[in-house]
Structure 1
Amino acid sequence: MAGIYFHIPFCKRICAYCDFRRTADLRRMEPLLGALHRELEARAGYLGGHAVRTLYFGGGTPSLYAPEALQGLVDHARRLFGFGRPEELTVECNPDDLTADYVARLRDTEIDRLSIGVQSFDDACLRLMNRRHSAAEAISAVRRAQRAGFVNLTIDLIFGIRGFGGEILRRTLDTALELDVPHISAYHLTIEPDTVLGRRTARGEFGPVDDGTSEREFAAVHEALTAAGYEHYEVSNYARKGYRARHNAAYWSGEPYLGIGPGAHSFDGAERRWCSSAAGEYIAAPAYGFERLTPRDRCNEYVMTGLRTAEGISLAEAAERFGAATAARLVRDAGPWLAAGTLVREADRLRIPAARMLVSDAVIEALFDA
């Protein structure tokens, strides 16, 4: 099984926290659409016959493109890869793009899952992040999509923002729960150097929250959402039964995927490849970087992706794929974390309890084959 990811790099406004491959030069949207179709043609053999089951439009802001243009890319991919109706077809949307007309046109496509970039239901927090919608607009966008018949909706939230925890975070969570969407992604703010918040931090005008605040806010998100019936199935993802993100789950389980667009990554099971071009270069001639994974790399990726999920990793699978010695090493290295309760072992599986997933990076690093 495999997935196809389309990276749409355009944004009307650059968010203060974002360091993804993106541009505010919307004049390139039409030529880049043609370049996406050309790259699809050029890479039609990449997946080696694996059946495509999910497609995902990410960004950037895919909802800047007309729904018909997005469907055109799906139709082209179908002709090249021979799949039927996808199991899941997601498009990331900004709330202010989801007008009644836009939502109605989306309903006429095969797109069946909307990922709505809310981030917060507090207007002051949205202004800090340089988002182009208000809390009221975000609520209206979700309700509009629901009235149009979209059931499989997810909203993104960000926590760990200095000055916007406590009661402000609680109100955002309460509003999210009132909207009753089946999936919520909640990310801790990471301040990257080459962003507005990164530059403000370097000048001493902003900064990250301390570790204690991170832990309290992570716990507040976890407790609020799990109490409301959401499964905390990955570090940053919560879903009601039957609504886990299928496309993203393929990344975590090591399935092949094809990335189309500037900055998009691909994986064929042995090699990771990425498009290193900015939008203008991509239109002219895409350039790529690649990395062939060693057995050690593949083992470390198995540990890294598996321990970010509720299922964790299987020692039997590790032994089968990487050797009995590797499985024994994992058991040995897991010892201190098992004793501390940060890891648990159930039959042949090691997993991090969902409530402790904030420290997953430390556990994963300890279990890496260095």
Structure 2
Amino acid sequence: MTRRLHLNAFLMNTGHHEASWRLPESDPYAHVDLAHYVRLARTAERGTFDSLFLADGPHLWGSVAQRPAGALEPLTLLTALATATEHIGLIGTASTSYNSPYNLARKFASLDIISGGRAGWNIVTTAGAEAARNFGLDAEPGHADRYARAAEFLDVALKLWDSWEDDAIVADKASGVWGDDRKIHPPRHRGTYFRVEGALNVPRSPQGYPLLVQAGSSEDGKAFAARYAEAVFTAQQTIEDARAFYADLKSRTAAAGRDPGHIKVLPGIVPVIGSTEAEARAAERLLEDHIVHRHGVANLERLLQLSPGTLELDAELPAELPPEDAVEGAKSRYTLVVGDAPSHPRTLPPRVWGGGRGGGGFSVHNNTGV
């Protein structure tokens, strides 16, 4: 069997590295500049990438002092990028915690039609009390409850996308019949979280429904991915961990009754490119020298559910940290930092986990490495 390497460009405003905006050649306003994203999208398409991806969250994350903050709404931006590109897939994040299935299904169907069948949905459940309070809640829903809602949300969305059969549009001018009512199937869904009656008010899109992507690596996240996902974003720090994640996900997919070959695993890397390794290393040092480390320490305290001022730069992490089961927020990111034995002291300094290098692994390549 011929295996193919799939490449996805994760576009993070001015760059994944938190200090990228401080470089002389960087534009600190690029994250709200459509022309910036058009250039990136066309570059990725010219490089034959399969897709590009925009992350999102329904709250203002962290401190605006750290890096360019806020973001254009991804489906709006992807619609604009659809008109500036021809082939590349367009994946956007949208939360099942703070959306309704009908509106979101309509938006993705519209993007799929406008792009000619290139839409993808990164399905997230949205951790964090900050987001919850933006939607009238005092605290975030529990982790298992968020995934139960996500499963029903996606089931409803699939019903809505399937509410039009492929040939429901007749367009018979002679008879005056535009569509066949027999081929419209309202969901009439009654569930735990949602009640949705009517058919989608957008015709069947080219793909039928968008590419389904998932990014959680918790137990609930992997179970959800095994049931629904066609691609999975992940961040692993060692080859051994990456192989274990891959094998576990493929096994779960088979157990869910799906072909494991139909789910693609896309591990994250943040490359620094140079014409030689020495040049790439110099660029890496330049970026690292521009990090303001107090921001990273604050981010780490937030992730580990510690009070502000608990951590000190270059000190060990506390010996006692809550286990993953006690974390209701971003479980997979938490485990990525503390490992599998949170009762053991951590020797990695907080600056390593401040987020400066982005969400994936960190690689340095020369001009022959890609």
- Tell whether the structures are fold-level matches, with TM greater than 0.5: no
Length-normalised TM-score, structure 1: 0.36
* Structure ranking higher in helix proportion: 1
Structure index of larger Rg = 2
Length-normalised TM-score, structure 2: 0.36
